[in-house]
Amino acid sequence: MRASDADRDRTIQILGEALAMGRLTVYEHSERLDAVYLAKTIGELEPITRDLPQVAGERKTPVAPAVDPDGSADGTDTMIAVFGGTRRTGRWRVRRRSKVVTVFGGVDLDMTSAVFDAPVVEIKMTAVFGGINITLPEGVEVRNEAIGIFGGIDAQQDDDPPLGAPVLVIKGFALFGGASIAPKRKSKKT
């Protein structure tokens, strides 16, 4: 069976957690990431993490994702930047769940004109020697549940988001990397 983006994402998540726990060196992690992106089938992905503990709640063998009512695979948007960058700006759709993976790369998400799919959206991030920059419209509540391991997460929001404001939940980790989440400030006239 051919591997999907969701199958690759699960494998990348396992590798990222193994790197964070010291089970893989940076070099081994890089080699295995290369193998993930070259894999065409689920059978080629399985050996990449065979010797590593699986992520809690995940199956050993990746399975095809469930289909969301809107027809998309599990309603998750995935952005990956490896030794490069990804940028989203203008009017775009922020899915209920998004995964952002950076390895020696960067992701810049400008949400000031974006449309949120749901009142609560979640971004699961993995930043390994990489960075994530998220610019929010004013009035969005931010819940930071991510951790920094030799890295940092700077999450800012307006002082008092209005009742019923959209909520952005940040999960995941930054290893020798970081994330900046802040509302776009209106420029002051002088």
Query: How would DSSP label each residue in 67-92?
Result: BPTTSSBTTEEEEEEESSEEEE-SS-
Residues 6+ apart with CB under 8 A from 188: none
Q: Say yes or no: 93 and 160 in one domain.
A: yes
Asked if the structure places residue 18 within a domain, the reply is yes
Task: Indicate whether 22 pLDDT > 90.
Answer: no
Pairing of strands 147-149, 167-175: parallel
Q: What is the pLDDT of residue 61?
A: 34
Asked if the structure places residue 63 within a domain, the reply is no
Q: Say yes or no: 29 and 98 in one domain.
A: no
- Count of structural domains within the chain: 2
Q: Say yes or no: 15 and 102 in one domain.
A: no
Task: Indicate whether 19 pLDDT > 50.
Answer: yes
Q: Say yes or no: 89 and 34 in one domain.
A: no
Residues 6+ apart with CB under 8 A from 160: none
- Using DSSP's 3-state secondary structure scheme, residue 14 falls into helix
Q: Quick check: 104 and 83 in contact, CB under 8 A?
A: yes
Structural domain containing residue 85: 76-183
d(CA 159, CA 70): 35
Could you tell me which residue, 13 or 163, shows the higher pLDDT?
13
Percentage of the chain beyond pLDDT 70 is 86
Mean of pLDDT over the chain: 81
Token pair, residue 105, equals 């790369």
Q: Tokens 């809107």 map to which residue?
A: 70
Range 65-90 average pLDDT: 70
Range 32-61 average pLDDT: 77
For the stretch 123-172, pLDDT in tens is 999 999 999 999 998 888 888 999 888 988 888 877 777 777 788 999 99
Task: Indicate whether 102 pLDDT > 80.
Answer: yes
Q: What is the pLDDT of residue 118?
A: 83
Q: What kind and span of H or E run contains 6?
A: helix 5-20
Q: What is the pLDDT of residue 125?
A: 92
How far is the CA of 101 from the CAs of 48, 98, 108, 186, in angstroms? 18, 10, 12, 29
Q: Say yes or no: 93 and 29 in one domain.
A: no
Least confident stretch, 68-77, 90-99, 150-159: 68-77
